[in-house]
């Protein structure tokens, strides 16, 4: 990611930003794994620990329109859980190589109300490799949502569930953030 963002910045193809890459595995202090290691309590770790730490350590713009969350694969699922559960923190989301979560109650509320969705998200970016299982599902779902008035970006590139795909997805996402 560092080389991608450096090249985009050199070309003036994206806005300057701080990128924080947190470990995706977070377990509650009591050891409760009710959400599994993959989804555990990462949303609470980000909101209660990571964001305040970064905001105190660096000169950040702390409004939600200046903050995005993105993740690939498992991180794409975590991103959805976090941005739909804590929309007051994030106005942009990037879902890379993960199915759109149609079971999350908060996500369903947003997707059922295009006006609220569009007011909440400056950018909702979904991408995948064309040969990934989630690609066709996400393309169809995002097309359905688009017909209902939901503004989002769907991007696909030839490839599978690997960094050849994610490099292009990251590039496309980074050029669209905070514009």
Residue 64 is given by DSSP the state: G
**The pTM is what?**
0.91
What pLDDT was estimated at residue 22?
84
| Least confident range of 21-25, 66-70, 88-92, 107-111 | 21-25
> How far apart, in whole angstroms, are the C-alpha atoms of residue 69 and residue 47?
11
CATH code assigned to 2-176? 3.40.50.1820
Residues 93, 97, 102, 103, CA torsion sign:
negative
Per-residue pLDDT tens digits for 5-50: 999 999 999 999 999 988 777 766 666 655 555 556 888 889 999 9
Residues 6+ apart with CB under 8 A from 102: 108, 111, 141
DSSP string, 10-36: HTT-S---------S----TT---TTH
């Amino acid at each position: 990611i560092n080389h991608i963002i450096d090249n985009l910045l050199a070309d003036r193809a994206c806005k300057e930003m701080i990128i924080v890459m947190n470990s995706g595995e977070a377990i509650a202090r009591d050891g409760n794994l009710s959400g599994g290691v993959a989804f555990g309590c990462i949303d609470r770790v980000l909101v209660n620990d990571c964001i305040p730490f970064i905001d105190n350590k660096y000169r950040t713009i702390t409004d939600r329109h200046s903050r995005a969350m993105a993740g690939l694969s498992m991180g794409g699922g975590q991103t959805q859980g976090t941005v739909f559960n804590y929309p007051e923190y994030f106005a942009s989301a990037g879902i890379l190589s993960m199915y759109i979560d149609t079971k999350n109650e908060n996500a369903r509320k947003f997707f059922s109300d295009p006006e609220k969705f569009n007011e909440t998200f400056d950018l909702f970016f979904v991408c995948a490799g064309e040969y990934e299982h989630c690609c066709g599902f996400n393309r169809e779902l995002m097309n359905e949502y688009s017909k209902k008035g939901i503004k989002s970006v769907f991007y696909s590139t030839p490839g599978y569930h690997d960094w050849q795909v994610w490099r292009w997805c990251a590039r496309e996402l980074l050029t669209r953030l905070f514009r």
